[in-house]
Amino acid sequence: MPKIMVVGSSNTDMVVRTEHLPRPGETVIGGEFVSVPGGKGANQAVAAARLGAEVTLVARLGRDVFGDSSLRNFKAEGLVTEFVVRDPERPSGVALIFVDNAAENMIAVAPGANGALSTDDVDRASDALAECDALILQLEVPPRTVLHAARLAHDLGVRVILNPAPARPLPSELFAMVDLIVPNETEARQLLELGDDQAVDEPAALRHFLDMGVGNIILTLGSRGALVVTPGESRMILATKVKAVDTTAAGDAFTGALAVGLSSGMDLFRSTEFACKSASIAVTRLGAQCSMPTREEVEALSG
């Protein structure tokens, strides 16, 4: 069984499905509401666990009803919760999400306890990290904590997978500790400081990440699939065609599955195919963690 650690965020997602996304000053009536567990870190942890990995989550929750619900859900999903801290001062993270009929979304996040995830929280999990095959990181927690976790994993010889979402300025030293970076087009453009008129979905553009010290790059391209760029070659992996319902956690499904594939012995390209299938299934369902597929579902998907 692959062993994966996720250091990252946990939120409660409050989702309103509407005919179209609200414009500034507009109230859209007639939406459908659902409250579901989310947060990029927790989403990726659940994605990996449902695909058969033993997943340890390092995160912070408030001492509130949202935190109680999240912790119950983590345990139900089989996550190792030994390093999930209940913050006595800050509320649990909350995300407000609009999803329209075309499956596009708008998201606003109040991070709460996620903003207090610390280097000490990571250090407490260092022995467990040493036994892991991979560490997954995102950017909904403090950058110093992400950098510290990456450095610790790098020193321990554990593969570091960074999903740089939401995109934000990062210290240059972080990239040299990242074995695999997994941005979408918007995130890659921001990190590479490219203009809107500059192509990012080409190997030549993405090789700038290699110059920054990153081991390999996978650019996620939504319904198109993903572009894999390594020091030796590049390859486009096509996604399975599906009817999307909600794309909110597609990237999280992809990242969690990618870590499982690599930790199971698949090569980078086969792992990317596995991840594309996982994301394709996730977008056919409403919600974040609840949309994550099982390994049986992924392996049964043709295309």
Q: Where are the beta strands (DSSP E) in 146-256?
A: 159-162, 180-181, 216-220, 225-229, 234-238
Tell me if residue 252 is catalytic.
Answer: yes
Give the residue among 181, 159, 155, 156 at the shortest CA–CA distance from 170: 181
Give the residue among 265, 238, 170, 241 at the shortest CA–CA distance from 209: 170
5 secondary structure, DSSP code = E
Q: Are 227 and 207 in contact (CB under 8 A)?
A: no
User: How far is the C-alpha of 268 from the C-alpha of 216, rounded, in Å?
Assistant: 9
What three-state secondary structure class fits 257?
helix
Half-sphere exposure of 182 (CA within 13 A, CB side): 28
User: How far is the C-alpha of 9 from the C-alpha of 52, rounded, in Å?
Assistant: 21
State which amino acid sits at residue 232.
G
For the chain, the farthest-separated pair of C-alpha atoms sits apart, in whole angstroms, at 53
Candidate list 155, 196, 252, 267, residue with the active-site label: 252
Cite the active site residues: 252
